[in-house]
Structure 1
Protein backbone atom coordinates (compact mmCIF):
# COMPACT_ATOMS: atom_id res chain seq x y z
CA UNK A 1 0.00 0.00 0.00
CA UNK A 2 2.78 2.43 0.92
CA UNK A 3 4.38 1.77 -2.46
CA UNK A 4 1.14 2.68 -4.25
CA UNK A 5 0.80 5.91 -2.25
CA UNK A 6 4.35 6.91 -3.15
CA UNK A 7 3.67 6.63 -6.90
CA UNK A 8 3.17 9.71 -9.01
CA UNK A 9 -0.31 10.06 -10.62
CA UNK A 10 1.13 9.14 -14.01
CA UNK A 11 2.86 5.99 -12.68
CA UNK A 12 -0.29 5.03 -10.79
CA UNK A 13 -2.37 5.30 -13.97
CA UNK A 14 0.16 3.14 -15.82
CA UNK A 15 0.07 0.52 -13.06
CA UNK A 16 -3.74 0.40 -13.13
CA UNK A 17 -3.73 0.15 -16.92
CA UNK A 18 -1.28 -2.76 -16.77
CA UNK A 19 -3.57 -4.62 -14.37
CA UNK A 20 -6.60 -4.00 -16.57
CA UNK A 21 -4.75 -5.13 -19.69
CA UNK A 22 -3.60 -8.26 -17.89
CA UNK A 23 -7.19 -9.04 -16.95
CA UNK A 24 -8.34 -8.43 -20.51
CA UNK A 25 -5.68 -10.80 -21.88
CA UNK A 26 -6.71 -13.56 -19.48
CA UNK A 27 -10.34 -13.22 -20.55
CA UNK A 28 -9.55 -15.35 -23.63
CA UNK A 29 -8.56 -18.27 -21.38
CA UNK A 30 -10.94 -20.56 -19.51
CA UNK A 31 -11.02 -21.20 -15.78
CA UNK A 32 -12.18 -24.06 -13.59
CA UNK A 33 -15.42 -22.37 -12.53
CA UNK A 34 -16.48 -21.98 -16.17
CA UNK A 35 -15.58 -25.58 -16.95
CA UNK A 36 -17.56 -26.86 -13.96
CA UNK A 37 -20.62 -24.82 -14.97
CA UNK A 38 -20.42 -26.17 -18.54
CA UNK A 39 -21.43 -29.65 -17.33
CA UNK A 40 -25.06 -28.49 -17.00
CA UNK A 41 -25.81 -29.39 -20.61
CA UNK A 42 -28.82 -31.61 -21.40
CA UNK A 43 -27.64 -31.90 -25.00
CA UNK A 44 -24.27 -33.32 -23.98
CA UNK A 45 -25.77 -35.49 -21.21
CA UNK A 46 -28.23 -37.21 -23.58
CA UNK A 47 -29.81 -39.23 -20.77
CA UNK A 48 -32.05 -42.17 -21.71
CA UNK A 49 -33.44 -45.40 -20.30
CA UNK A 50 -31.79 -48.08 -22.42
CA UNK A 51 -32.84 -51.41 -20.95
CA UNK A 52 -33.53 -53.63 -17.94
CA UNK A 53 -31.07 -55.46 -15.68
CA UNK A 54 -31.83 -58.72 -13.87
CA UNK A 55 -30.46 -59.64 -10.45
CA UNK A 56 -30.73 -62.77 -8.33
CA UNK A 57 -31.57 -61.78 -4.77
CA UNK A 58 -31.31 -64.50 -2.14
CA UNK A 59 -32.21 -64.64 1.56
CA UNK A 60 -32.69 -67.44 4.08
CA UNK A 61 -36.24 -67.74 2.77
CA UNK A 62 -35.22 -68.37 -0.86
CA UNK A 63 -34.25 -66.52 -4.02
CA UNK A 64 -36.12 -64.14 -6.29
CA UNK A 65 -35.26 -62.27 -9.47
CA UNK A 66 -35.28 -58.49 -9.17
CA UNK A 67 -34.99 -55.94 -11.93
CA UNK A 68 -33.53 -52.46 -12.22
CA UNK A 69 -33.57 -49.86 -14.95
CA UNK A 70 -30.54 -49.66 -17.25
CA UNK A 71 -29.62 -46.11 -18.22
CA UNK A 72 -27.20 -44.67 -20.76
CA UNK A 73 -25.76 -41.17 -20.76
CA UNK A 74 -22.59 -39.22 -21.48
CA UNK A 75 -20.09 -38.16 -18.83
CA UNK A 76 -17.52 -35.32 -19.16
CA UNK A 77 -14.39 -37.37 -18.55
CA UNK A 78 -11.67 -34.88 -19.43
CA UNK A 79 -10.72 -31.44 -20.68
CA UNK A 80 -8.56 -31.67 -23.81
CA UNK A 81 -6.53 -28.57 -24.58
CA UNK A 82 -4.83 -27.98 -27.94
CA UNK A 83 -2.59 -24.92 -28.06
CA UNK A 84 0.33 -23.46 -30.02
CA UNK A 85 2.60 -21.93 -27.39
CA UNK A 86 4.25 -24.39 -25.02
CA UNK A 87 3.35 -23.63 -21.41
CA UNK A 88 0.21 -21.65 -22.37
CA UNK A 89 -2.61 -24.12 -21.77
CA UNK A 90 -5.83 -22.07 -22.05
CA UNK A 91 -7.10 -23.70 -18.84
CA UNK A 92 -5.27 -21.32 -16.55
CA UNK A 93 -5.35 -23.27 -13.27
CA UNK A 94 -3.52 -26.29 -14.74
CA UNK A 95 -1.03 -24.36 -16.84
CA UNK A 96 1.83 -25.22 -14.49
CA UNK A 97 1.46 -28.92 -15.32
CA UNK A 98 2.86 -28.49 -18.82
CA UNK A 99 5.52 -25.80 -18.69
CA UNK A 100 8.43 -25.88 -21.19
CA UNK A 101 11.29 -28.24 -20.40
CA UNK A 102 14.63 -28.99 -22.10
CA UNK A 103 12.98 -31.43 -24.54
CA UNK A 104 9.78 -29.45 -25.20
CA UNK A 105 9.97 -25.75 -25.94
CA UNK A 106 8.44 -23.19 -28.28
CA UNK A 107 5.71 -24.04 -30.79
CA UNK A 108 3.59 -22.37 -33.43
CA UNK A 109 3.42 -22.51 -37.24
CA UNK A 110 6.10 -23.27 -39.80
CA UNK A 111 5.21 -20.56 -42.30
CA UNK A 112 6.64 -17.47 -43.95
CA UNK A 113 3.23 -15.76 -43.59
CA UNK A 114 2.80 -15.39 -47.33
CA UNK A 115 -0.85 -14.90 -48.29
CA UNK A 116 -0.68 -17.47 -51.07
CA UNK A 117 0.42 -20.30 -48.78
CA UNK A 118 -2.11 -23.11 -48.52
CA UNK A 119 -0.05 -25.86 -46.92
CA UNK A 120 0.89 -24.52 -43.52
CA UNK A 121 2.86 -26.71 -41.18
CA UNK A 122 1.31 -26.22 -37.76
CA UNK A 123 2.25 -27.47 -34.31
CA UNK A 124 -0.01 -27.88 -31.29
CA UNK A 125 0.69 -29.05 -27.79
CA UNK A 126 -2.05 -31.14 -26.18
CA UNK A 127 -3.03 -31.86 -22.59
CA UNK A 128 -5.71 -34.30 -21.43
CA UNK A 129 -6.66 -33.56 -17.84
CA UNK A 130 -9.49 -34.98 -15.75
CA UNK A 131 -12.65 -32.88 -15.84
CA UNK A 132 -13.17 -30.90 -12.60
CA UNK A 133 -16.98 -30.87 -12.70
CA UNK A 134 -17.66 -34.35 -11.34
CA UNK A 135 -19.68 -33.42 -8.26
CA UNK A 136 -21.79 -30.79 -10.01
CA UNK A 137 -22.34 -33.13 -12.94
CA UNK A 138 -23.39 -36.02 -10.67
CA UNK A 139 -26.08 -33.88 -9.08
CA UNK A 140 -27.22 -32.71 -12.50
CA UNK A 141 -27.34 -36.24 -13.97
CA UNK A 142 -28.99 -37.72 -10.87
CA UNK A 143 -31.94 -35.39 -11.37
CA UNK A 144 -32.85 -37.55 -14.37
CA UNK A 145 -32.56 -40.79 -12.41
CA UNK A 146 -29.78 -43.23 -11.63
CA UNK A 147 -26.40 -41.88 -12.84
CA UNK A 148 -23.28 -43.68 -14.09
CA UNK A 149 -19.73 -43.02 -12.98
CA UNK A 150 -17.16 -41.90 -15.54
CA UNK A 151 -13.52 -42.93 -15.89
CA UNK A 152 -11.95 -39.53 -15.27
CA UNK A 153 -10.53 -38.20 -12.00
CA UNK A 154 -10.65 -34.44 -11.53
CA UNK A 155 -7.38 -32.66 -12.38
CA UNK A 156 -5.59 -35.94 -13.13
CA UNK A 157 -3.13 -35.51 -16.04
CA UNK A 158 -3.72 -38.32 -18.52
CA UNK A 159 -1.50 -36.90 -21.26
CA UNK A 160 0.87 -33.92 -21.23
CA UNK A 161 2.57 -33.53 -24.59
CA UNK A 162 5.58 -31.80 -22.98
CA UNK A 163 6.38 -35.16 -21.35
CA UNK A 164 5.66 -37.15 -24.53
CA UNK A 165 8.41 -35.50 -26.59
CA UNK A 166 9.60 -38.42 -28.72
CA UNK A 167 6.12 -39.34 -29.95
CA UNK A 168 4.56 -35.86 -29.95
CA UNK A 169 7.34 -33.83 -31.56
CA UNK A 170 9.15 -36.45 -33.66
CA UNK A 171 6.30 -38.89 -34.52
CA UNK A 172 8.40 -41.84 -33.32
CA UNK A 173 7.37 -44.57 -33.97
CA UNK A 174 3.98 -43.55 -35.40
CA UNK A 175 5.37 -42.18 -38.65
CA UNK A 176 5.86 -45.82 -39.68
CA UNK A 177 2.35 -47.05 -38.82
CA UNK A 178 0.14 -48.07 -41.78
CA UNK A 179 -2.48 -45.51 -40.68
CA UNK A 180 0.13 -42.77 -41.17
CA UNK A 181 1.45 -44.03 -44.51
CA UNK A 182 -1.73 -44.99 -46.36
CA UNK A 183 -4.01 -42.08 -47.43
CA UNK A 184 -7.65 -42.43 -46.50
CA UNK A 185 -7.13 -44.34 -43.25
CA UNK A 186 -8.23 -42.83 -39.92
CA UNK A 187 -9.15 -39.40 -41.26
CA UNK A 188 -11.38 -36.73 -39.71
CA UNK A 189 -13.86 -35.93 -42.44
CA UNK A 190 -13.60 -37.19 -45.99
CA UNK A 191 -11.80 -36.22 -49.18
CA UNK A 192 -14.82 -36.99 -51.36
CA UNK A 193 -17.07 -34.84 -49.18
CA UNK A 194 -14.57 -31.96 -49.39
CA UNK A 195 -14.60 -31.62 -45.60
CA UNK A 196 -11.32 -33.28 -44.66
CA UNK A 197 -9.98 -31.71 -41.46
CA UNK A 198 -6.92 -33.89 -41.10
CA UNK A 199 -5.54 -37.33 -40.31
CA UNK A 200 -5.56 -38.96 -36.90
CA UNK A 201 -2.17 -40.62 -37.50
CA UNK A 202 0.59 -39.93 -36.77
CA UNK A 203 -0.75 -38.94 -33.36
CA UNK A 204 1.60 -36.04 -32.69
CA UNK A 205 1.56 -32.26 -32.67
CA UNK A 206 2.41 -31.51 -36.32
CA UNK A 207 -0.03 -31.34 -39.22
CA UNK A 208 -0.70 -29.43 -42.42
CA UNK A 209 -3.90 -27.39 -42.30
CA UNK A 210 -4.69 -23.78 -43.24
CA UNK A 211 -7.52 -23.46 -40.70
CA UNK A 212 -6.22 -23.08 -37.14
CA UNK A 213 -9.49 -24.20 -35.51
CA UNK A 214 -9.48 -27.42 -37.53
CA UNK A 215 -5.83 -27.95 -36.58
CA UNK A 216 -6.70 -27.62 -32.91
CA UNK A 217 -9.60 -30.04 -33.29
CA UNK A 218 -7.52 -32.67 -35.10
CA UNK A 219 -4.82 -32.54 -32.42
CA UNK A 220 -7.45 -32.82 -29.68
CA UNK A 221 -8.89 -35.88 -31.44
CA UNK A 222 -5.40 -37.40 -31.61
CA UNK A 223 -4.85 -36.88 -27.88
CA UNK A 224 -8.27 -38.38 -27.10
CA UNK A 225 -7.48 -41.32 -29.36
CA UNK A 226 -4.30 -42.10 -27.41
CA UNK A 227 -5.69 -41.91 -23.88
CA UNK A 228 -8.76 -44.05 -24.63
CA UNK A 229 -6.61 -47.03 -25.63
CA UNK A 230 -4.21 -49.17 -23.68
CA UNK A 231 -0.66 -50.05 -24.67
CA UNK A 232 0.07 -47.05 -26.89
CA UNK A 233 3.70 -45.99 -27.42
CA UNK A 234 3.21 -42.67 -25.65
CA UNK A 235 3.84 -41.25 -22.19
CA UNK A 236 0.27 -41.21 -20.80
CA UNK A 237 -2.26 -42.80 -18.48
CA UNK A 238 -5.26 -44.63 -20.01
CA UNK A 239 -8.56 -42.83 -19.50
CA UNK A 240 -10.55 -46.05 -19.23
CA UNK A 241 -12.73 -47.75 -16.63
CA UNK A 242 -13.15 -51.50 -16.17
CA UNK A 243 -16.52 -53.11 -16.74
CA UNK A 244 -18.30 -54.87 -13.89
CA UNK A 245 -21.72 -56.30 -13.13
CA UNK A 246 -24.27 -53.70 -14.14
CA UNK A 247 -21.68 -51.23 -15.47
CA UNK A 248 -20.61 -50.77 -19.09
CA UNK A 249 -17.91 -48.08 -19.53
CA UNK A 250 -16.90 -46.24 -22.68
CA UNK A 251 -14.34 -47.86 -24.96
CA UNK A 252 -11.97 -46.49 -27.58
CA UNK A 253 -12.72 -43.06 -29.05
CA UNK A 254 -13.31 -43.13 -32.81
CA UNK A 255 -13.35 -40.03 -34.97
CA UNK A 256 -16.75 -39.02 -36.32
CA UNK A 257 -18.59 -41.59 -34.18
CA UNK A 258 -20.71 -39.96 -31.46
CA UNK A 259 -21.41 -43.34 -29.90
CA UNK A 260 -17.77 -43.39 -28.73
CA UNK A 261 -17.51 -39.77 -27.59
CA UNK A 262 -18.30 -36.17 -28.46
CA UNK A 263 -16.84 -32.73 -27.88
CA UNK A 264 -18.07 -29.60 -26.09
CA UNK A 265 -16.13 -26.47 -26.97
CA UNK A 266 -14.93 -24.50 -23.94
CA UNK A 267 -12.74 -21.85 -25.57
CA UNK A 268 -12.47 -19.62 -27.61
CA UNK A 269 -16.26 -19.89 -27.41
CA UNK A 270 -18.26 -21.68 -24.73
CA UNK A 271 -20.82 -24.05 -26.21
CA UNK A 272 -23.83 -25.56 -24.47
CA UNK A 273 -23.97 -28.48 -26.91
CA UNK A 274 -21.73 -31.30 -28.08
CA UNK A 275 -20.65 -32.43 -31.54
CA UNK A 276 -18.14 -34.67 -33.27
CA UNK A 277 -15.40 -33.56 -35.66
CA UNK A 278 -15.92 -32.55 -38.38
CA UNK A 279 -18.96 -30.36 -37.75
CA UNK A 280 -20.64 -27.43 -39.46
CA UNK A 281 -21.01 -25.27 -36.33
CA UNK A 282 -19.57 -21.77 -36.25
CA UNK A 283 -15.80 -21.97 -35.78
CA UNK A 284 -14.08 -19.05 -34.08
CA UNK A 285 -10.33 -18.80 -34.57
CA UNK A 286 -8.44 -18.40 -31.28
CA UNK A 287 -6.21 -15.33 -31.24
CA UNK A 288 -3.36 -17.20 -29.57
CA UNK A 289 -4.00 -20.54 -31.26
CA UNK A 290 -5.31 -22.11 -28.04
CA UNK A 291 -8.44 -24.25 -27.83
CA UNK A 292 -10.08 -26.48 -25.24
CA UNK A 293 -12.91 -29.00 -25.38
CA UNK A 294 -14.61 -31.21 -22.83
CA UNK A 295 -14.59 -34.83 -23.95
CA UNK A 296 -17.94 -36.50 -23.14
CA UNK A 297 -18.05 -40.30 -23.23
CA UNK A 298 -21.02 -42.73 -23.13
CA UNK A 299 -21.64 -45.02 -20.14
CA UNK A 300 -24.40 -47.48 -19.27
CA UNK A 301 -25.24 -48.78 -15.81
CA UNK A 302 -28.02 -50.05 -13.57
CA UNK A 303 -28.57 -50.14 -9.84
CA UNK A 304 -27.51 -53.33 -8.07
CA UNK A 305 -30.55 -55.15 -6.65
CA UNK A 306 -29.17 -58.59 -5.84
CA UNK A 307 -26.08 -60.63 -5.17
CA UNK A 308 -25.78 -62.14 -8.67
CA UNK A 309 -26.05 -60.29 -11.98
CA UNK A 310 -28.07 -62.39 -14.41
CA UNK A 311 -27.83 -60.16 -17.46
CA UNK A 312 -29.64 -57.31 -19.16
CA UNK A 313 -32.05 -56.62 -22.00
CA UNK A 314 -31.52 -53.56 -24.17
CA UNK A 315 -34.35 -51.61 -25.76
CA UNK A 316 -34.18 -50.97 -29.49
Structure 2
Protein backbone atom coordinates (compact mmCIF):
# COMPACT_ATOMS: atom_id res chain seq x y z
CA UNK A 1 0.00 0.00 0.00
CA UNK A 2 1.27 3.46 -0.93
CA UNK A 3 0.33 6.67 0.89
CA UNK A 4 1.82 10.14 1.13
CA UNK A 5 2.04 10.31 4.92
CA UNK A 6 1.80 7.99 7.89
CA UNK A 7 0.68 9.75 11.07
CA UNK A 8 1.17 8.03 14.41
CA UNK A 9 -1.45 9.10 16.95
CA UNK A 10 -4.94 10.56 16.64
CA UNK A 11 -5.03 13.01 19.50
CA UNK A 12 -5.59 16.68 18.77
CA UNK A 13 -2.30 16.95 16.83
CA UNK A 14 -2.82 13.83 14.73
CA UNK A 15 -6.46 14.70 14.09
CA UNK A 16 -5.77 18.22 12.85
CA UNK A 17 -2.59 17.39 10.94
CA UNK A 18 -4.37 14.63 9.01
CA UNK A 19 -7.26 17.05 8.35
CA UNK A 20 -4.85 19.68 6.99
CA UNK A 21 -2.91 17.24 4.82
CA UNK A 22 -6.08 15.75 3.35
CA UNK A 23 -7.28 19.27 2.54
CA UNK A 24 -4.04 19.65 0.58
CA UNK A 25 -5.04 16.59 -1.45
CA UNK A 26 -2.57 14.27 0.24
CA UNK A 27 -3.28 10.68 1.22
CA UNK A 28 -2.82 9.78 4.86
CA UNK A 29 -2.81 6.64 6.99
CA UNK A 30 -3.24 7.21 10.72
CA UNK A 31 -2.06 4.55 13.17
CA UNK A 32 -3.73 4.81 16.56
CA UNK A 33 -4.80 2.48 19.33
CA UNK A 34 -8.01 3.87 20.76
CA UNK A 35 -7.72 4.73 24.45
CA UNK A 36 -10.49 6.28 26.58
CA UNK A 37 -8.39 8.60 28.76
CA UNK A 38 -5.90 10.36 26.53
CA UNK A 39 -4.87 13.92 27.41
CA UNK A 40 -7.07 15.35 24.66
CA UNK A 41 -10.16 13.42 25.71
CA UNK A 42 -9.76 14.34 29.38
CA UNK A 43 -8.94 18.02 28.78
CA UNK A 44 -11.59 20.69 29.31
CA UNK A 45 -11.04 22.00 25.78
CA UNK A 46 -10.77 25.56 27.09
CA UNK A 47 -9.20 28.27 24.95
CA UNK A 48 -8.23 31.21 27.16
CA UNK A 49 -6.37 34.19 25.64
CA UNK A 50 -4.75 35.21 28.94
CA UNK A 51 -2.66 33.28 31.43
CA UNK A 52 -1.06 33.40 34.85
CA UNK A 53 -1.30 35.59 37.93
CA UNK A 54 0.13 38.49 35.93
CA UNK A 55 -2.84 38.19 33.54
CA UNK A 56 -0.77 38.42 30.37
CA UNK A 57 -1.73 37.34 26.88
CA UNK A 58 -0.93 33.71 26.11
CA UNK A 59 2.02 33.12 23.79
CA UNK A 60 1.10 33.95 20.16
CA UNK A 61 -2.61 34.12 21.01
CA UNK A 62 -3.32 36.87 18.46
CA UNK A 63 -2.06 34.53 15.71
CA UNK A 64 -3.34 31.27 17.21
CA UNK A 65 -6.92 32.31 17.91
CA UNK A 66 -8.05 33.19 14.35
CA UNK A 67 -6.56 29.96 12.96
CA UNK A 68 -8.18 27.88 15.70
CA UNK A 69 -11.63 29.40 15.26
CA UNK A 70 -11.46 29.12 11.48
CA UNK A 71 -10.44 25.46 11.56
CA UNK A 72 -12.89 24.37 14.24
CA UNK A 73 -15.79 26.11 12.52
CA UNK A 74 -14.80 24.58 9.18
CA UNK A 75 -14.73 21.09 10.68
CA UNK A 76 -18.07 21.76 12.40
CA UNK A 77 -19.67 22.72 9.08
CA UNK A 78 -18.08 19.81 7.23
CA UNK A 79 -19.53 17.19 9.59
CA UNK A 80 -22.59 19.09 10.87
CA UNK A 81 -21.43 18.97 14.48
CA UNK A 82 -20.92 21.58 17.19
CA UNK A 83 -17.24 21.57 18.09
CA UNK A 84 -17.05 25.14 19.44
CA UNK A 85 -18.96 26.32 22.50
CA UNK A 86 -18.27 30.08 22.85
CA UNK A 87 -18.53 30.31 26.63
CA UNK A 88 -17.06 33.33 28.37
CA UNK A 89 -14.99 32.94 31.53
CA UNK A 90 -16.03 34.43 34.84
CA UNK A 91 -12.82 35.07 36.78
CA UNK A 92 -13.40 35.15 40.55
CA UNK A 93 -10.59 37.29 41.92
CA UNK A 94 -8.65 35.42 44.65
CA UNK A 95 -7.38 38.60 46.33
CA UNK A 96 -7.12 42.38 46.01
CA UNK A 97 -3.75 42.24 44.26
CA UNK A 98 -5.10 40.01 41.51
CA UNK A 99 -8.19 42.19 41.14
CA UNK A 100 -5.99 45.26 40.69
CA UNK A 101 -3.81 43.45 38.15
CA UNK A 102 -6.85 42.25 36.19
CA UNK A 103 -8.32 45.77 36.17
CA UNK A 104 -5.02 47.23 34.95
CA UNK A 105 -4.71 44.63 32.19
CA UNK A 106 -8.32 45.18 31.15
CA UNK A 107 -7.35 48.69 30.07
CA UNK A 108 -4.66 47.15 27.82
CA UNK A 109 -6.47 44.05 26.54
CA UNK A 110 -9.87 45.56 25.83
CA UNK A 111 -10.68 42.80 23.34
CA UNK A 112 -10.26 40.10 26.01
CA UNK A 113 -10.72 41.45 29.56
CA UNK A 114 -13.78 43.16 31.05
CA UNK A 115 -14.77 44.47 34.48
CA UNK A 116 -18.50 44.83 33.83
CA UNK A 117 -19.76 41.85 35.87
CA UNK A 118 -22.38 42.56 38.54
CA UNK A 119 -21.20 40.47 41.48
CA UNK A 120 -24.69 40.49 42.98
CA UNK A 121 -25.86 38.19 40.18
CA UNK A 122 -23.65 35.41 41.55
CA UNK A 123 -23.93 35.85 45.31
CA UNK A 124 -26.51 33.09 45.62
CA UNK A 125 -24.30 30.56 43.81
CA UNK A 126 -20.72 31.22 44.95
CA UNK A 127 -18.72 32.33 47.96
CA UNK A 128 -16.32 35.12 46.94
CA UNK A 129 -14.98 38.34 48.44
CA UNK A 130 -13.10 40.39 45.85
CA UNK A 131 -15.37 40.59 42.81
CA UNK A 132 -15.52 38.99 39.37
CA UNK A 133 -13.95 39.80 36.03
CA UNK A 134 -14.95 38.51 32.62
CA UNK A 135 -12.76 37.10 29.85
CA UNK A 136 -14.09 37.05 26.28
CA UNK A 137 -12.90 35.50 22.99
CA UNK A 138 -12.90 32.23 24.92
CA UNK A 139 -14.33 28.88 23.91
CA UNK A 140 -14.64 25.30 25.06
CA UNK A 141 -13.76 22.86 22.28
CA UNK A 142 -15.58 19.52 22.39
CA UNK A 143 -12.45 17.45 21.98
CA UNK A 144 -14.12 14.08 22.33
CA UNK A 145 -16.70 14.89 19.66
CA UNK A 146 -14.01 16.28 17.36
CA UNK A 147 -11.74 13.27 17.66
CA UNK A 148 -14.53 10.69 17.54
CA UNK A 149 -16.09 12.29 14.45
CA UNK A 150 -12.77 12.44 12.64
CA UNK A 151 -12.01 8.84 13.59
CA UNK A 152 -15.27 7.71 11.99
CA UNK A 153 -14.29 9.60 8.84
CA UNK A 154 -10.89 7.91 8.82
CA UNK A 155 -12.59 4.53 9.25
CA UNK A 156 -15.02 5.25 6.42
CA UNK A 157 -12.19 6.23 4.06
CA UNK A 158 -9.94 3.34 5.09
CA UNK A 159 -7.37 5.79 6.42
CA UNK A 160 -6.77 4.42 9.90
CA UNK A 161 -5.12 1.34 11.37
CA UNK A 162 -6.47 0.82 14.87
CA UNK A 163 -3.59 -0.78 16.69
CA UNK A 164 -0.63 0.16 18.85
CA UNK A 165 2.28 1.40 16.75
CA UNK A 166 5.18 -1.08 16.71
CA UNK A 167 8.46 0.80 16.35
CA UNK A 168 10.29 -2.41 15.41
CA UNK A 169 8.21 -2.66 12.22
CA UNK A 170 9.29 0.77 10.94
CA UNK A 171 11.93 1.02 8.22
CA UNK A 172 13.37 4.46 7.46
CA UNK A 173 15.46 5.66 4.50
CA UNK A 174 16.19 9.24 3.41
CA UNK A 175 13.56 8.97 0.65
CA UNK A 176 10.73 7.01 2.28
CA UNK A 177 9.45 5.01 5.23
CA UNK A 178 7.81 1.59 5.35
CA UNK A 179 5.57 0.08 8.02
CA UNK A 180 3.87 -3.32 7.79
CA UNK A 181 3.49 -3.17 4.03
CA UNK A 182 2.67 0.55 3.90
CA UNK A 183 5.12 2.83 2.11
CA UNK A 184 5.01 6.59 2.60
CA UNK A 185 7.03 9.67 1.79
CA UNK A 186 7.19 10.57 5.48
CA UNK A 187 6.03 9.47 8.89
CA UNK A 188 4.93 12.12 11.40
CA UNK A 189 4.76 11.25 15.08
CA UNK A 190 1.85 12.87 16.93
CA UNK A 191 2.16 10.42 19.80
CA UNK A 192 1.63 12.76 22.77
CA UNK A 193 3.22 11.51 26.01
CA UNK A 194 4.62 8.43 24.23
CA UNK A 195 6.89 10.80 22.31
CA UNK A 196 9.21 10.87 25.29
CA UNK A 197 10.10 7.23 24.57
CA UNK A 198 10.26 7.60 20.79
CA UNK A 199 13.80 6.64 19.67
CA UNK A 200 13.87 9.49 17.13
CA UNK A 201 12.71 12.22 19.50
CA UNK A 202 13.41 11.04 23.06
CA UNK A 203 16.25 13.60 23.33
CA UNK A 204 13.82 16.49 22.99
CA UNK A 205 13.13 18.28 26.30
CA UNK A 206 9.70 16.90 27.10
CA UNK A 207 8.30 17.75 30.52
CA UNK A 208 5.31 15.51 31.07
CA UNK A 209 2.78 16.28 33.77
CA UNK A 210 -0.20 14.41 35.13
CA UNK A 211 -3.62 15.99 35.43
CA UNK A 212 -6.79 14.84 37.18
CA UNK A 213 -10.36 16.08 36.81
CA UNK A 214 -13.78 15.47 38.29
CA UNK A 215 -17.03 15.22 36.34
CA UNK A 216 -19.78 16.71 38.48
CA UNK A 217 -23.52 17.24 38.20
CA UNK A 218 -24.55 20.77 39.29
CA UNK A 219 -28.18 21.08 38.11
CA UNK A 220 -28.71 24.68 39.25
CA UNK A 221 -25.54 26.19 37.76
CA UNK A 222 -26.01 28.06 34.45
CA UNK A 223 -24.15 26.48 31.54
CA UNK A 224 -23.33 29.81 29.87
CA UNK A 225 -19.87 30.32 31.36
CA UNK A 226 -16.66 28.72 32.51
CA UNK A 227 -16.17 29.59 36.19
CA UNK A 228 -12.62 30.10 37.40
CA UNK A 229 -10.77 30.67 40.63
CA UNK A 230 -8.25 28.13 41.96
CA UNK A 231 -10.45 25.61 40.13
CA UNK A 232 -12.08 25.74 36.73
CA UNK A 233 -15.68 24.62 36.26
CA UNK A 234 -16.48 24.10 32.57
CA UNK A 235 -19.67 22.81 30.93
CA UNK A 236 -19.23 19.22 29.75
CA UNK A 237 -21.28 16.59 27.97
CA UNK A 238 -24.45 14.98 29.37
CA UNK A 239 -25.33 18.02 31.52
CA UNK A 240 -22.19 17.54 33.61
CA UNK A 241 -19.42 19.97 34.50
CA UNK A 242 -15.68 19.38 34.18
CA UNK A 243 -13.81 20.48 37.33
CA UNK A 244 -10.05 20.65 37.61
CA UNK A 245 -7.38 20.27 37.02
CA UNK A 246 -4.16 19.30 38.75
CA UNK A 247 -0.58 19.60 37.49
CA UNK A 248 1.72 16.91 38.91
CA UNK A 249 5.28 17.10 37.61
CA UNK A 250 6.43 14.05 39.57
CA UNK A 251 4.28 10.93 39.40
CA UNK A 252 4.72 7.16 39.23
CA UNK A 253 1.35 6.15 37.76
CA UNK A 254 -1.53 7.53 35.72
CA UNK A 255 -4.28 6.44 38.12
CA UNK A 256 -6.80 8.74 39.75
CA UNK A 257 -6.10 9.57 43.38
CA UNK A 258 -8.14 10.01 46.54
CA UNK A 259 -5.92 12.99 47.44
CA UNK A 260 -6.98 14.94 44.35
CA UNK A 261 -10.65 14.17 44.91
CA UNK A 262 -10.52 15.22 48.56
CA UNK A 263 -8.63 18.45 47.87
CA UNK A 264 -10.87 19.40 44.94
CA UNK A 265 -14.06 18.66 46.81
CA UNK A 266 -12.83 20.77 49.75
CA UNK A 267 -12.13 23.67 47.37
CA UNK A 268 -15.49 23.21 45.68
CA UNK A 269 -17.42 23.20 48.96
CA UNK A 270 -15.73 26.44 50.00
CA UNK A 271 -16.54 28.13 46.69
CA UNK A 272 -19.83 26.73 45.41
CA UNK A 273 -23.09 27.24 47.33
CA UNK A 274 -25.15 24.98 45.07
CA UNK A 275 -25.76 21.24 45.58
CA UNK A 276 -23.65 18.94 43.43
CA UNK A 277 -22.85 15.27 42.89
CA UNK A 278 -19.52 13.82 41.77
CA UNK A 279 -20.14 11.38 38.92
CA UNK A 280 -16.64 10.41 37.78
CA UNK A 281 -12.91 11.08 38.08
CA UNK A 282 -10.33 10.88 35.29
CA UNK A 283 -6.57 11.22 34.95
CA UNK A 284 -4.14 11.51 32.06
CA UNK A 285 -0.65 12.76 31.15
CA UNK A 286 -0.04 15.97 29.22
CA UNK A 287 2.79 16.07 26.65
CA UNK A 288 4.31 19.37 27.78
CA UNK A 289 7.81 20.73 27.07
CA UNK A 290 10.49 22.43 29.15
CA UNK A 291 10.27 25.73 27.26
CA UNK A 292 6.45 25.57 26.92
CA UNK A 293 6.75 25.64 23.12
CA UNK A 294 5.54 22.85 20.82
CA UNK A 295 7.70 20.53 18.72
CA UNK A 296 7.12 20.68 14.95
CA UNK A 297 9.25 19.68 12.00
CA UNK A 298 11.49 17.00 10.54
CA UNK A 299 14.36 15.19 12.22
CA UNK A 300 17.70 16.76 11.15
CA UNK A 301 19.29 13.36 10.41
CA UNK A 302 16.18 11.50 9.20
CA UNK A 303 14.29 13.82 6.88
CA UNK A 304 11.50 11.32 6.30
CA UNK A 305 10.63 11.36 10.02
CA UNK A 306 8.75 14.26 11.62
CA UNK A 307 6.95 15.32 14.75
CA UNK A 308 4.02 17.44 15.94
CA UNK A 309 3.79 17.29 19.71
CA UNK A 310 4.36 19.07 23.00
CA UNK A 311 1.26 21.28 23.21
CA UNK A 312 0.76 20.59 26.92
CA UNK A 313 -2.35 22.28 28.32
CA UNK A 314 -2.61 24.62 25.31
CA UNK A 315 -3.42 22.01 22.66
CA UNK A 316 -6.83 23.41 21.73
CA UNK A 317 -5.40 26.83 20.89
CA UNK A 318 -2.00 25.78 19.50
CA UNK A 319 -2.73 22.61 17.53
CA UNK A 320 -4.75 24.19 14.66
CA UNK A 321 -2.05 26.78 13.90
CA UNK A 322 0.88 24.39 14.08
CA UNK A 323 -0.92 21.55 12.28
CA UNK A 324 -1.59 23.92 9.38
CA UNK A 325 1.96 25.26 9.59
CA UNK A 326 3.49 21.78 9.47
CA UNK A 327 1.20 20.69 6.63
CA UNK A 328 2.24 23.77 4.62
CA UNK A 329 5.87 23.05 5.42
CA UNK A 330 5.60 19.44 4.25
CA UNK A 331 3.63 20.19 1.09
CA UNK A 332 4.93 23.61 0.04
CA UNK A 333 8.18 24.07 1.94
CA UNK A 334 6.79 27.01 3.95
CA UNK A 335 9.11 27.84 6.88
CA UNK A 336 8.00 26.82 10.34
CA UNK A 337 7.75 29.26 13.24
CA UNK A 338 11.27 29.40 14.68
CA UNK A 339 10.11 28.94 18.28
CA UNK A 340 8.30 25.70 17.41
CA UNK A 341 10.64 24.32 14.74
CA UNK A 342 12.65 21.41 16.16
CA UNK A 343 15.64 22.73 14.25
CA UNK A 344 16.25 24.66 17.48
CA UNK A 345 17.34 21.29 18.89
CA UNK A 346 19.44 20.17 15.93
CA UNK A 347 22.55 19.61 18.06
CA UNK A 348 20.65 17.53 20.58
CA UNK A 349 18.93 15.41 17.92
CA UNK A 350 22.16 14.91 15.97
CA UNK A 351 24.05 13.19 18.77
* TM norm. shorter chain > 0.5: no
Shorter-chain TM-score tier: under 0.3
| Structure with max Cα Rg | 1
